[in-house]
């Protein structure tokens, strides 16, 4: 009888150990997951604090400008009267779509919530282009989106490439600059060639007057 009691006690002790170890393992795993979760939250908060200044403002501004470039380029691909302008718009659309994707990925890493739609100012710029047709649209698109906006963007990106506090924001600005400069150069060349190919009103009138005098 005593032997049976000792065996039962030993079995109970073994079961107790087996029951305790799994629970202790689960507890340790939960503790580790909790620590990782807290560490991730701390990193996200640190990233947000790190981008509270000019870097964060630059990303928000770049997001608005990038969305406007894509939307106006879509419009130009449909509405432009010149095939050259349509081809130029296609280039801008593809390049800015790629840059916007990189910016969104960077924003996710840094815990920055970028705007999902155009603000009132940029909506007005899009609306102005939507009212135009034909060659008038072509000229306005090249002047405002191809040249004016890209000059401004280049200034902003150059400043950030020099003075960004965050290394990844700085790298994004540096890597995007060559594309923006290419857009500006080609926009200027296209606008110049279109202006040269179109005869001025004065020369046309002069030619008609000369023919009238000769007759």
pLDDT of residue 163: 94
d(CA 115, CA 82): 32
d(CA 62, CA 161): 13
Residue 195: band (very low, low, confident or very high) from pLDDT cuts 50, 70, 90: confident
d(CA 113, CA 52): 12
d(CA 165, CA 186): 32
Q: Which of 31-45, 103-117, 189-203 has the lowest mean pLDDT?
A: 31-45
Q: Where are the alpha helices (DSSP H) in the chain?
A: 2-50, 54-79, 83-110, 120-130, 134-140, 149-163, 167-197, 201-214
pTM of the shown model: 0.70
Q: Which of 13-22, 59-68, 110-119, 192-201 has the lowest mean pLDDT?
A: 13-22
Q: Which of 14-23, 76-85, 101-110, 128-137 has the lowest mean pLDDT?
A: 14-23
d(CA 73, CA 83): 13
CATH number for the domain formed by residue range(s) 52-197? 1.20.1260.10
Give percent above pLDDT 90 in the chain: 64
The pLDDT tens digits of the residues spanning 31-78 come to: 566 565 555 444 545 545 557 689 999 999 999 999 999 999 999 999
Q: What is the mean pLDDT of the chain?
A: 81
> Which residue in this structure is represented by tokens 């969104």?
104
d(CA 67, CA 3): 83
Give the end-to-end CA distance of the chain in Å, rounded to a whole number. 142
pLDDT of residue 30: 56
Answer whether 48's CB lies under 8 Å from 111's CB.
yes
d(CA 126, CA 93): 14
d(CA 177, CA 99): 11
Q: How far is CA 153 from CA 7, 50, 65, 78, 100, in A?
A: 83, 23, 8, 25, 14
User: For residue 205, is pLDDT > 50?
Assistant: no
């Amino acid at each position: 009888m005593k032997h049976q009691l000792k065996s039962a006690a030993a079995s109970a002790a073994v079961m107790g150990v087996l029951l305790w170890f799994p629970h202790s393992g689960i507890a340790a795993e939960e503790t580790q997951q909790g620590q990782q979760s807290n560490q991730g939250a701390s990193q996200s908060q640190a990233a947000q604090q790190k981008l509270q200044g000019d870097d964060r403002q630059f990303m928000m501004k770049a997001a608005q400008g990038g969305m406007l470039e894509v939307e106006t380029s879509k419009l130009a691909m449909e509405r432009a009267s010149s095939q050259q302008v349509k081809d130029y718009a296609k280039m801008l659309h593809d390049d800015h779509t790629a840059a916007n994707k990189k910016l969104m990925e960077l924003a996710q890493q840094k815990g920055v919530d970028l705007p999902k739609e155009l603000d009132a100012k940029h909506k007005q710029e899009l609306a102005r282009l939507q009212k135009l047709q034909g060659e008038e649209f072509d000229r306005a698109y090249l002047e405002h989106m191809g040249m004016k906006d890209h000059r401004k963007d280049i200034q902003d990106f150059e400043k950030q490439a020099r003075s960004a506090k965050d290394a990844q924001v700085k790298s994004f600005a540096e890597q995007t600059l060559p594309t923006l400069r290419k857009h500006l150069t080609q926009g200027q060349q296209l606008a110049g060639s279109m202006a040269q190919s179109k005869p001025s009103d004065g020369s046309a009138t002069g030619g008609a007057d000369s023919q009238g005098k000769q007759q």
